[in-house]
Amino acid sequence: MASVGLLGVGGTISVAPGERGAQPARGAEELLPPTGVPAGIRVHPRDVLRLPSHTVTVDDLWLLVEEVRAEIAGGRDGVVITHGTDTLEETAYAMSLLVDTTVPVVLTGAMRAPHLAGPDGPANVAAALMTAACPELGGYGPVVVFSDEIHVARLVTKMHSTRVDAFASPAAGPVGFVAEERVELLLGPPPRRDLLPSTAPPSRRVGLVWATTGIDGEQVAAYGAGLDGLVVGALGAGHVSPALGEALVRFAESGRPVVVASRCPDGALLSHTYGGAGSEIELRRAGLLFANVLSPPKARLRLLFGLSAGLPADELFGP
């Protein structure tokens, strides 16, 4: 019998309607599938937070990390986290940075509220429990389970704002799926782990700016004064406007790291193809770091928690 912790954090899966709109109201125990817990699993539900995920802070992430660690230290064979979908992928990636374990850690939620027709929460929780009870998943790091698909934290992203099949991994697809109360793995564990070599509570401020057509560098000057680091959601394969590029270089010259990630949900950042102001060649030559396949929000979390633990930025974003 697998012992699986079920940690409730809030989100659509837990909401109830009210005069001012739906809000998280249901506890973790109320989220168990109405058809019953899958065979061979004993579930231990408890609430950690009860929040819509757009309000989750990095301090909340650290609290959740500590609760996951406590579940694992208490002998759980797996841990499921029910979470809102707006920032679910970021919380999943934070788990991959901060939780050192071979115990499966699974995040899920719902796109359709419990009081609406055809809620997807019960099926997602059932699939997540089965995934958490599969010991082979421990080697994949934290995963997201949605619509019976299993996605690794590094690659998964929310691709649609309302559909129940909102999550995908554009670069590689799901690593497995759930069918007939069994887990089927399609791909082996990812070749790299995102786990940080040391961890600490969040104590650094890292900002995120987005490159857009013709944007200048004024936002960096205004926004960057109190920051310890900066991530830019760049265009294409790692490009920004010349004015924004100049501002980013000035920020980096102050001794604070700047990390370039792409706005595109799939594809590589280049290193030596395009030249000229704002190109990847010029940004790399100026000492900016590149995030490889990480999305801008995930790159921000890596830089934030890495700097908080005293890790050098260039080691966080190596080749």
Instruction: Name the residues annotated as catalytic.
Output: 12
C-alpha 102/C-alpha 299 separation (Å) is: 23
Q: Which residue has the tokens 């998280």?
A: 24
Where does the chain have alpha helices with state H? Answer: 58-73, 88-98, 121-132, 218-223, 242-253, 280-285, 296-308, 313-316
Give exposure, 151-190, as e/b (b: 16+ Cβ within 10 Å).
Answer: bbbbbbbbeeeeebebbbbeebebbbbbeeeebeeeeeeb
Compute CA distances 226 → 60, 205, 229, 251, whole Å: 21, 8, 9, 11
271: how many CB neighbours lie within 10 A of its CB?
13
Cβ proximity of 278 and 244 under 8 Å: yes
Angle between helices 296-308 and 58-73 (to 10 degrees): 70
Structure tokens at 232: 């830019």
DSSP code string of 254-274: TT--EEEEESSSSSPPPSSS-
Cβ proximity of 306 and 313 under 8 Å: yes
Nearest alpha carbon to residue 54 among 109, 102, 98, 3 = 109
Contacting residues for 270 by C-beta, under 8 A, at least 6 apart? 237, 238, 280
